[in-house]
Amino acid sequence: MPAGHGLRSRTRDLFARPFRKKGPTPLSIYLRTYKIGDYVDVKVNGSIHKGMPHKFYHGRTGRVWNVTKRAIGVEVNKQVGNRIIRKRIHVRVEHVQPSRCHEEILQRIKRND
């Protein structure tokens, strides 16, 4: 019978935890704070099953537009056909890292002030 196209199809390696990093996640992930307008990278943590984004968003970077109790709303660009749509997803904090794409600009601002 055919393979199927479920939500987590073809993610066997993508969502796997890295070598020797399986098991409990480090606590600093839960202690980080995110504000609206921050840039974040979406990187799925396969051991946390709740609040996982779809595999398309793995590796994408977007801005925070919403902060809830355990999750962050991220606005990510997605090309659909001949246009790019700004898609808003909600992701749990375990699947999100602060992005360094904006770091250089922030440092420059600090230096110039």
Partner 1 sequence: MVFVKAQKSKAYFKRFQVKYKRRREGKTDYRARIRLINQDKNKYNTPKYRFVVRFTNQDIIAQIVSASIAGDIVMAAAYARELPRYGLEVGLTNYAAAYCTGLLLARRVLKMLEMDDEYEGNVEATGEDYSVEPAESRRPFRALLDVGLIRTTTGNRVFGALKGALDGGLDVPHSDKRFAGFSKDSKQLDVEVHRKYIYGGHVAAYMTTLMEDEPEKYQSHFSEYIKKGLEPEGLEEMYKKVHAAIRADPTVKKSEKQPPKEHKRYHLKKLTYEERKARLIERLNALNAAGAGDGDEDEDDE
The site for partner 1 (CB under 8 A) is made up of: 20-25, 27-28, 30-35, 67-72, 93
| Shortest distance, position 105 Cβ to partner 1, whole Å | 23
The most distant pair of C-alpha atoms in the chain lies apart, rounded to whole Å, by 64
Q: CB-wise, 77 or 103, nearer to partner 1?
A: 103
Task: Show the tokens assigned to 44.
Answer: 């799925």
Residue 40 beta carbon to partner 1: minimum distance, rounded to whole angstroms: 12
Q: Decide whether 28 or 112 has the Cβ nearer to partner 1.
A: 28
> Sign (positive/negative) of CA torsion 51, 41, 99, 79?
negative
Sheet containing 61-67: order of strands? 83-92, 71-80, 61-67, 39-42, 96-98
By beta-carbon proximity to partner 1, the closer residue of 70 and 108 is 70
What's the min distance (Å) between Cβ of 54 and partner 1? 21
Cβ proximity to partner 1, 44 vs 96, nearer residue: 96
Residue 7 CA, distance from chain mean position: 17
CB of 24 to partner 1, least distance (A): 5
Q: How, if at all, do strands 39-42 and 61-67 pair?
A: antiparallel
